[in-house]
Amino acid sequence: IELKAEDLRTVCELGQGNGGTVSKVVHVPTGKTMAKKLVLIDAKPAVRKQILRELQIMHDCRSEHIISFFGAFVADPHICICMEYSDKGSLDQIYKRIGAIDIDVVAQIALAVLEGLTYLYDAHRIIHRDIKPSNILFNSAGQIKLCDFGVSGELINSIADTFVGTSTYMSPERIQGAQYTVKSDVWSLGITLIELALGRFPFSDDDSELEEDSSEEEDDPDADIAHYIANGLSSASSVDTERSFASRDSRDSEESFGEGTLSPRRAPIALPPPTISISTASTVSHPDTDSTTTPGTSRGAPKLSAPNASSAAKKNRRKSRGVSLQGGGMTMSILELLQHIVNEPAPTLPAGKYGADAQGFVAKCLEKRPEDRPSPKELLGDPWMRSAREEGYDLVAWAETIP
Ligand code: ATP
Ligand code: MG
């Protein structure tokens, strides 16, 4: 069927992200309920057409762990993407409603995400690029499905200027400008799983330690990272949008659509251009911890060297407890968070509360060097995943517990 704007009746809004707004709609001619995503893009008509062409690949993505695609059209100045509606929403909404998610459910989520990622990569050479709780959807049939994967390079380029929040799930190598591979998705999965199991985003500042520790060693490796990031930001503002990425004719070629497609011509990190972010207060405040954000601790312009967060982390290291997982609210500038991800030990599932198999799996996902990190396919053979598959879980019954 050809989708047209006038055939869609809006039922309600489902949520808003940095890149767009998602609504529940009914396609009147067929009576089908859909989720309609409006993405505001800054692109010329030719590029918009190219985006639509690239999005058509989603018609071929058929897997029980991938949200189905119904079609897309231009609705100036937006691109409108119509997809399968998921009646229990995304996993961030779910854990904010019911709290930390049982680790056995988290295991099923990990399994579904790995199967979805493996399908996307093996069947279509697609790397997701945006794994996080809000892009994992759940429905009352007990199905777990991925949405918002990076199928269109032109779309990624065209919305790059308006997107900020996603960077917090970004792997260390990607922050440093390395090629994007399926292993970067595995890192994001690791962060996501800890977030779901704890019921909150795993990176947090321990504010009490930030005040005291300003007299630190002067040889600060973070300054280099800050440099990298600043350079990444300036090149992000000049991303070349004429380039073909996932167009039908090139997608079978390993060279143009294999691991690391977006580099080296692409900016290392997709952050807003310097005019937007670097000179303003780009504070990362996670939605569920916003209420605990104290204005005094939210810093203005990010510091390009020796930020407090890293001093605190050095202190943490001396106490040999790595990243603080127990802290309350989180207020870290985006640069501090990125530096933290690159320089400090990866977060872990706290010992005691979780089984060794779950901890071990998450630790593999969060290996800091991509060479040491398994691929999604390799992780499907992990002991935690094997027992998740064997034992199963009644996700339909679990869905009934979610209001
Ligand atoms: P970001 O813009 O940083 O990627 P996001 O994923 O939250 O964040 P959107 O992709 O615009 O932003 O989605 C907004 C919200 O809409 C999501 O958080 C999710 O809860 C909801 N949503 C998205 N797609 C669907 C869908 N197919 N069915 C039901 N709810 C959906
Ligand atoms: Mg999304």
- What string of pLDDT tens digits covers the 403 residues of the chain? 799 999 999 999 999 988 789 999 999 999 999 999 999 888 889 999 999 999 999 999 999 999 999 999 999 889 999 999 999 999 999 999 999 999 999 999 999 999 999 999 999 999 999 999 999 999 999 999 999 998 888 888 887 554 455 458 999 999 999 988 999 999 999 999 999 999 999 986 543 333 333 333 334 444 444 444 444 433 333 333 223 333 333 333 333 333 333 323 333 343 433 222 222 233 444 444 433 333 333 333 332 333 333 444 333 333 322 233 223 345 677 888 899 999 999 999 998 999 999 999 999 999 999 999 999 999 999 999 999 999 999 999 999 999 9
Based on the number of CB atoms within 10 Å of its own CB, is 12 exposed (0-12), middle (13-18) or buried (19 or more)?
exposed
Give the Å distance between the CA of 295 and the centre of ligand 1: 28
Give the Å distance between the CA of 11 and the centre of ligand 2: 19
Check residue 36 and give its pLDDT: 98
As a whole number of angstroms, the distance between CA 317 and CA 295 comes to 27
ipTM given for this complex: 0.99
Does the Cβ of 106 fall within 6 Å of ligand 1? no
Find the helix packing angle between 356-365 and 103-124, rounded to 10°: 40
Does the Cβ of 33 fall within 6 Å of ligand 1? no
As a whole number of angstroms, the distance between CA 82 and CA 35 comes to 6
Q: Is 303 annotated as a binding residue?
A: no
Check residue 231 and give its pLDDT: 43
Check residue 160 and give its pLDDT: 58
As a whole number of angstroms, the distance between CA 177 and CA 269 comes to 6
Give the containing element (helix H, strand E) for 51.
helix 45-55
Please check whether residue 100 is in contact with residue 199, taking contact to mean a CB–CB distance below 8 angstroms.
Answer: yes
Check residue 303 and give its pLDDT: 29
pTM (two decimals): 0.76
Check residue 98 and give its pLDDT: 97
Instruction: Return the sign of the alpha-carbon dihedral for residues 311, 315, 316, 318.
Output: positive
Ligand 1 pocket test: pick from 12, 13, 14, 67 the residue with the most ligand atoms within 8 Å of its Cβ.
14
As a whole number of angstroms, the distance between CA 195 and CA 90 comes to 13
Residue whose C-alpha is closest to residue 181's, from 330, 371, 320, 4: 371
| Amino acid symbol at 90 | S
Residue ID of nearest Cα to ligand 1 atom 11: 17
